[in-house]
Amino acid sequence: MKNSAYLLILIALSMLLETCSIGKDSIGKNSSNESFLYLELDIRDKSSYPVTMRAITNKLNLDSLNCNNTEDFLTSIYCQGHYVPNLLIYDKVLIELSRLNNDSLLLKYSGQGQQLMNRLYSNSREMDFKLCDGKNVYMRVTQITGKFAICKKEAIALPTISDEISITDIKEISDIYIPIEIFDYKKPILP
């Protein structure tokens, strides 16, 4: 009986480790030179609170963005890339990831959320446009290179932010990318 209990625990742990890759594959040499476009999206109108979301993508295809409404727009963004948590809760995300993976090394990156945000803003290009439903979209785009922790959305309970749409409501989001060590920020050339 004890052996079967240990076996079940080992199977559960191996499944958890498979869904959250925080090792050499996600923050080691394989991701040390990954370049992405970091997108910060601010969607608002006069009658409701703004929605802010973040994403990274290898290439932003503006022609494939669906501008009908907020839901369709976010779907088209996350079809092209991955979700990034709000940097205001960066330390909480790292603590949760560290707890999940029993990896205290991630905590050495704590405290850099505001610094990341400042560098992203100062090196971004801004775009603004209107959705068909009348909402305004303000988008900041920054080209970044660095290391990322990668986790499946089902594997982590992220702290909630009141101005975000829940990632469980967006089926196109499967992976969460957390910037760990960004060493290059550039203003991208946009079409």
Domain annotation covers residue 71? yes
Domain annotation covers residue 1? no
CA atoms within 13 A on the CB side of 53: 25
Domain annotation covers residue 99? yes
Neighbouring residues of 3: CB distance < 8 A, sequence distance ≥ 6: none
Domain annotation covers residue 43? yes
Mean pLDDT of 110-121: 90
Phi, psi of 16 (to 5 degrees): -65, -45
Residues 9/16, Cβ–Cβ less than 8 Å: no
DSSP code, position 59: S
Q: Is the pLDDT of residue 162 over 50?
A: yes
List pLDDT tens digits, range 165-185. Answer: 989 899 999 999 999 989 999
Domain annotation covers residue 25? yes
Domain annotation covers residue 93? yes
Domain annotation covers residue 147? yes
Segments forming the whole domain that contains residue 66? 21-186
Domain annotation covers residue 56? yes
Number of domains composing the chain? 1
Question: Among the listed ranges 19-23, 42-46, 56-60, 183-187, which one has the minimum average pLDDT value?
Answer: 19-23
pTM, whole model, 2 decimals? Answer: 0.81
Nearest alpha-carbon partner for 182 in 140, 139, 120: 120
